[in-house]
Amino acid sequence: MPVPGSSPAKPFTAELGFASGSLTPHRATFVRRLSEMAGAYGDAAAARAILATGDDPVVYAGYDGDVPEEPGHLLFRTTIINPGTVGSEFFMTRGHHHVRDSAEFYLGMSGEGTMLMESRDGEFAAETLVPSAVVYVPPGWAHRTVNTGGTPLVFLAVYYGDAGHDYASVERSGFSRRVHRGEAGPEMRLAASGLGGAAG
Ligand code: M6P
Ligand code: ZN
């Protein structure tokens, strides 16, 4: 049954490039550079130092499936997070809540990473995102994805057409944990402040 108000859409098939993150066909592409999210990183001086060199690295980019952003549809988007760090903190997405609390799932396609998730009452969870892993984000959990490897982290995300992105709460207080490059590998550290309150 068609959902009232939704635009008519015909069945179609899209093709995923598991290594590149390409999506064919796609409705749009997006690119997120460091200058657009420098405040997300714990080490603000390290972010400023990178930008001061005149470099503005692409932290992540992706492709949107050709689906309307309307109730009843499922949006799907690939994301490619480049390898890298700001100070010792790994490259990551801005992270968001959905405007309308609703679930999402991620399929790992290439590379290795960690998904940080935090509920509205401050409960924290982390899941490993690797090829073939399907990570479920329940309604009401903010989510951020971190590339902990040395190659691009590529994944597919599927979410409701009317989920919406709410970045404000994450920008205000961040997540309670950050993922850093440690001597023996990735390390999860308590952030100075987070959605769940002060920690550390
Ligand atoms: C995934 C999905 C998208 C999201 C993207 C980048 O593909 O969760 O909805 O936009 O990651 O994350 P962010 O919007 O937090 O920068
Ligand atoms: Zn989401």
pLDDT digits (tens, 9 = 90+) for 30-72: 999 999 999 999 999 999 999 999 999 999 999 999 999 999 9
Q: Which ligand is nearest to the CA of 32?
A: 1
Q: Point out the ligand 1 atom lying closest to the alpha carbon of residue 170.
A: 15
C-alpha distances in Å from residue 53, one per residue of 46, 50, 57: 11, 6, 11
For residue 192, the model assigns a pLDDT of: 86
Grade residue 138 by pLDDT with cuts at 50, 70 and 90.
Answer: very high
For residue 17, the model assigns a pLDDT of: 98
pLDDT at 3 over 80: no
Q: Distance, CA 29 to ligand 1 centroid (Å)?
A: 12
Cα–Cα distance between 78 and 65 in angstroms, integer?
8
Grade residue 200 by pLDDT with cuts at 50, 70 and 90.
Answer: very low
